[in-house]
Structure 1
Amino acid sequence: MAALGFGAYELFTRTHSGDPLKVALWLAGAVALHDGLVVPLVLGAGLFVGRSRSHRALRGGLLTAGCLTLLALPLILRPGKPNNPTVLPLDYPVDWALALALTALATACVAWATRPRPGRHDRPSHDS
């Protein structure tokens, strides 16, 4: 609660006159984006994964893709070109897409390798 109060104090005492309104609009947009896009996508993916035979592999792949996206998003959405070309020298959208493609390939390989096979049952081994 103290941190929230300190944040509100800083917002209203150290910002320019129009900035609190911009912050409020940005926060409203973030809530709308979260509730309108992110939540339905996650729920839809959960329904899809829950009905899949390879749900463990798909869950791991989606979790990895989500983490990669969260890490890459600030670099992908950076505003304009930096003044110093050595600050962010790589093509981050291409690298992110390549990482997602490799994640999808690895997920497909794991799902294929661990798929249920007809005629095979998980029986305990009697090697002991």
Structure 2
Amino acid sequence: MNPLRMVRHAVGGLGVGLICLGAWLVAAEPAPGDVLVWLAGSLVLHDGVLAPLVLAGGLLIAGRPGRRLWRGALVIAGSVVLVTLPLLVRPGPPPNPSALPLPYGRNLVIVLAAVAVGAVLPRLVRRWGQRSQRRAGTDG
């Protein structure tokens, strides 16, 4: 048997085993219906909200100058929001008092503003440099 084929079968078997383990763990839950509702909600959230937002963002920056900076800024901002948002929208007090010791809403806005400045600043510096070169070329 081809070594690559053996690896493919081993990885496939591992994947099937993990799927079976996950199904067994869901079935062992006291309320497996709640887990299935959560899984269905996450699918709807991903396919109905997150994927269209990512596609719309990609369409907005396609063909723009500096799109690599914008793409990086959007990836960083999206990651920060995805990590922070569950703690912010959770109803009631946090189960662990140390989970939210700081004002995360304000800090999220500060971090997103810093990411935006980090995306815009290199473009502004480049434009300023080009203008000063043009002025130096016309003055001499």
Fold shared, TM-score > 0.5 on shorter chain? yes
Percent identity over the alignment is: 37
Asked if the contact 1:72–1:92 (Cα under 8 Å) also holds between the matched residues in 2, the reply is yes
Alpha-carbon distance between aligned partners in 2 of 1:78 and 1:64, rounded to the nearest angstrom: 22
Residues 25-34 or 68-77, more deviating: 68-77
Q: Pick the structure with more helix per residue.
A: 2
1:12 equivalent in structure 2: 27
Q: CA deviation at 1:114?
A: 3.8
**Mapping 1:19-98, distance limit 5 Å:** 19-82=31-94, 85-98=97-110
Distance in 2, matches of 1:44 and 1:83, equals 36
Distance 1:7 1:87 in 2: 27
Using the TM superposition, give the Cα deviation of residue 97 of structure 1 relative to its aligned residue in structure 2, in angstroms.
1.2
Q: Which has the higher contact order (CA 8 A, sep 6+)?
A: 1
Judging changes above 3 Å, is the alpha-carbon distance between structure 1 residues 65 and 84 closer, same or farther for their aligned structure 2 residues? Answer: closer
Distance 2:32 2:123 in 1: 48
- Report which stretch shifted further, 63-72 or 93-102: 63-72
Deviation at 1:105, TM superposition (A): 1.4
Q: Report how far residue 74 of structure 1 moved.
A: 3.3
Name the structure 1 match of 2:136: none
- Segments of structure 2 that go 5 or more residues without pairing to the other structure are 1-15, 134-140
Distance 1:83 1:62 in 2: 31
Cα RMSD for the two superposed structures: 2.3
Contact 1:58-1:111 within 8 A present in 2 as well? no
Question: How many residues get paired?
Answer: 116
Structure 1 unaligned segments of length 5 or more: list them.
Answer: 121-128
Which letter maps to 2:83? L
Alpha carbons of structure 1 residues 58 and 80: separation in structure 2 relative to 1, 3 Å: same
